[in-house]
Amino acid sequence: MTFLSNLGPWAWFVLGALLLVAEIAAPGAFLLWLGLAALATGALGLVADLSWQVQVVAFAALAVVAVLVGRKVSPSPGKASDRPFLNRRAQGFVGRVFTLDEPIVDGTGRVRIDDTVWRVTGPDTAAGTDVKVMAADGPTLTVKRA
Q: Please compute the mean of the pLDDT values over residues 75-90 and round it to a whole number.
A: 70
pTM of the model: 0.52
Please check the confidence at residue 81 and state whether its pLDDT lies above 90. no
pLDDT (tens digit, 9 = 90+) per residue, 90-142?
Answer: 888 999 999 998 999 999 999 998 888 999 999 999 999 999 999 998 889 99
DSSP letter assigned to residue 14:
H
Strand segments, DSSP code E, in the chain are: 97-105, 108-113, 116-121, 130-137, 140-145
Cα Rg, the chain, nearest whole Å = 29
Q: Identity (one letter) of the amino acid at 52?
A: W
37-78 pLDDT tens trace? 999 999 998 898 888 888 889 999 999 999 899 888 876 666
Q: How confident is the model at residue 6 (pLDDT cuts 50, 70, 90)?
A: low
